[in-house]
Amino acid sequence: MYTGFWKRAGLALILASSLGGQATELHDVQLVVNDQGLSLHYQTELVSGVVTLYFATTIDSPKDQWQLRGYHPIGHTQGGSFDLGLDFKTTSVAGFFQLRQPPFRPQANMVWIDPGHFLLGSPESELGRFSDEGPQHKVTIPNGFWMSVYEVTQGEFQTIMGGNPSQSFESPRNPVDSISWFEALDYCERITQQARAQGAIPEGLEYRLPTEAEWEYACRAGSTSAYSFGDDSYDLSLYAWWEENAPGRSAEVGLLKPNAWGLYDMHGNVFEWCLTKYQAYPGGAIRHKNVDYRVVRGGAFICPDYIVRSACRLESAPANSRSWLTGFRVVLAQPVPTALGDSSR
């Protein structure tokens, strides 16, 4: 069962592998020490799925007491690595890390987003910029996540919630609109419960709204420009439904070009709720003060070009409000600190 043991400077770690019947296909497991701390590297020949990393202080801890510390998808002959988050110079701990390949079937049409760093917000030189978009600052997305390539459609919402409040109706493939932030949370909670009942997602992951940082990171898809495709709005109609090309309502999802990471309608069509409270960036200011607003992003089909920019935060709104211009999309990820949410309704 044990595939590795490492001890140095009072830090003892034992790595246990628990990949079911496919455990023999895990190989070349290494604990690597560097100036930042410890990381785990492995190779696998598992064809598909997800590898998860859990931590416990004793090897015989009950399954529900192992803490999820990392996860990512795998492919044929693909390896992976996890940052164990421990500094051997300052930490003295005995514990166990366990690799698992749990059953995993995310919702259809979701794409994996790698962790990374990016600049959140816009530079002062960006045309159409609002004051609450700065100062631009570096943000780390420490854990990867899966994001729906489409906004949640009216048909999907109807199936899960039993109703469709949308005001802009043309097809069940149009994005749902006229829902509050709380209703978007309810949708995420229901599909999470459904997936867990089916054994489709591992413990420690849930469907939820993206944080504001996750949303902008995914929208930019590695870009630093005003839009995911560049600074010039000349090509905007290839990627977005906005005031110049929309038919006076939202359009079916996925009809235009996606960004570089395969996500459709991140610009335009409908605004999208984020999990995060609307607040100032470090060293910055907000336009709406003394309010409890939630962030919405992306712009909508009636908006001019400067509202559908990657960094724009214009239409943040109360969590219980509804607008025919606002919908959402979901991510599959670890829960985030509850301080981002608000249970009051």
Residue 86 confidence (pLDDT): 63
Task: Give the Cα separation of 232 and 248 in Å (integer).
Answer: 23
The three-state secondary structure class of 146 is strand
Residue 127 confidence (pLDDT): 95
- Asked, as a colleague might, if the bond just before 318 is cis with ω within 30 of 0, I would say no
In whole angstroms, how large is the CA radius of gyration of the chain? 22
The three-state secondary structure class of 174 is coil
Strands, sheet with 48-56, edge to edge from the N-terminal-most edge strand: 2-8, 11-18, 94-100, 48-56, 67-75
Residue 87 confidence (pLDDT): 61
Task: Give the Cα separation of 108 and 186 in Å (integer).
Answer: 19
Cβ(60)–Cβ(109) below 8 Å: no
Kindly give the pairing relationship between strand 37-44 and strand 79-83.
antiparallel
Residue with tokens 């249970």: 343
For 64-71, the CB contacts below 8 A with 24+ separation are 64/203, 66/98, 67/204, 68/202, 68/203, 68/204, 68/205, 68/334, 69/97, 70/143, 71/143, 71/144, 71/202, 71/204, 71/205, 71/334
Task: Give the Cα separation of 299 and 246 in Å (integer).
Answer: 12
Helix residue spans in 106-235 (DSSP H)? 154-161, 181-197, 212-220
Residue 96 confidence (pLDDT): 76
Cβ(88)–Cβ(8) below 8 Å: yes
Residue with tokens 């905007």: 236
Structure tokens given for 170: 């043309």
Residue 261 confidence (pLDDT): 97
Residue 345 confidence (pLDDT): 36
Structure tokens given for 240: 């977005």
Residue 327 confidence (pLDDT): 98
- Domains defined along the chain, listed by start: 2-100 (2.60.40), 110-340 (3.90.1580.10)
Residue 207 confidence (pLDDT): 97
12-36: b or e for each residue (b if 16 or more CB lie within 10 Å)? ebbbbbbbeeeeeebeebebeeeee
pLDDT tens, N- to C-terminus, the chain (345 residues): 334 444 444 445 555 554 443 333 445 566 666 666 667 777 766 666 788 888 887 777 887 888 888 888 876 556 777 777 666 565 555 677 777 777 788 899 999 999 999 999 999 999 999 999 999 999 999 889 999 999 999 999 999 999 999 998 889 999 999 999 999 999 999 999 999 999 898 888 999 999 999 999 999 999 999 999 999 999 999 999 999 999 899 999 999 999 999 999 999 999 999 999 999 999 998 887 778 899 999 999 999 999 999 999 988 899 999 999 999 999 999 998 754 544 333
